[in-house]
Structure 1
């Protein structure tokens, strides 16, 4: 199997690495996160000018027509620099759902705006009682004549404070946790009846709680009642993206920890010369390599539409969560007291890995999904 990047993918990786080195030094990154909405509007326009926002979209909408490998390259480099701009929320989730299910008119209206850096979006799917079960939805969508109206609340909406538009998962039929009866709706953030409470997550990125009271929707995304089937592959793409982001963060942590152990002296020698610490750094390296190998497997399976693609993805999410915890904990301990302070970037990488672990379900949750999948009889799985 060929794991080499194409010329275009190599250029994308190098351009992002250059951007990170020039714009995301530790102090620069802290200044960006301190801005309104937790990211730089100027950086976002640079993303648009460099063509990064167009990569996942089809060519007929002005995009690059990229696939899972392109996403991996982008998100891995973003992870190495702790890039704060909402690529996942606006491009992968909001943009991905528009491309997958919106009417041609809606796509023509909004996808070019995303590509141009003119439109911010968010996907509102979680609720207070949901935990990690995306089908546990009580937000209601009801018909008022020819118009759909939303009532309910959504929590932990990534990029919810900056978003101009939301795609909202709501129930139009069925019981609370059924897959059937869920529909995706496009909502303007300025609509009457929309209220948002904005806050920062552990890693400094912004999220919001949204409440809807008799809110008229702008459009239905996909078919009525088909929301779960429509969003599942988009969320799987996002899972792949955040695992690539986690790998980039782990690689950066390993590099920073190795460099620290080479230069920090104790008892007159570099602490990296102590065999016990060398063993711990080897464990960190091994965990990172395991994630990298499984990421490549999952990306190739997704790109080839392999029958084992979902199993590889679930295993990857488990591995990324557990490796992130190991590498983050060891990086803090090997840096000693300094690893706990905000004067070093170590803690910020660890916080990012904590958030990534929790997105769409943590490692334990995905372990349960993986077990259920592999224990399903072949005949049932095929059905």
Structure 2
């Protein structure tokens, strides 16, 4: 009988323990849910913070009217070819240093990096830097013209620039293989009364700054942020899926020729090659007027570096001659600079 009472007590104790366990488990589930909810909110805050990094970078580089200068770099542009300096990035920055009224523009330049090496080089230069791509995105090396990597990089660039427009920032986009020899704003329409939505460089210019037959070049342009330009860029980007492997510049060219500018009410100005020059023309033009020189119609970074170095050398000679008041007809001789390395880059490899 004593054994039975003891056993009964044990059973009651076990039942009590089971009930307590059930109560604990039922109370634990909401706590777990709350904890997971807290982690989810934390993750959301981190993602929002990451998105805001672009806003911070843009604000830091912005002029008073919410205008920035944007350039993209990756490892291929910031490291020397065959261990020989300067790099393409070095030449690009040197142009701002020796250009006419261009040094102050560096504070408004936002360098968008596509890999860690490029980002670290940018930070070392104490520039305004923004890291766009993850390390494994495959955007680090040199992307040869019309390769799959080249096309992917161009479209990723366009996607990023849509974000900038959506944030209300106007910008000059510039390729790294461009030398800024003069402040280009002096040759761009910036007056609010004559507002242009888009001002874009050309490979050839036929004296009509509004002709849609002109061959555009998306390596340099000035675009205002508004509903019209955001719609243009979104249409441009959305067309990539049906582009059939055509580069993004040609996709935009086709849209222009098929009347998208009139559809969206966009005012455009095609920039004259007298002021915004490139290697697609035999001569660079007159150094008395040129604002930028673009290594267009050129295959590979080594060839571009060689010819852009030659442009810089001649620009420095021109500026020196100007400082000594050399007659105009003498300084005019500098317009005959050729770009042999780039011309030959299509028929042989430049090492």
* TM-score bracket, shorter-length normalisation: 0.3 to 0.5
Q: When the two structures are superposed, what TM-score results if normalisation uses the length of structure 2? A: 0.34
Q: Which has the larger radius of gyration?
A: 2
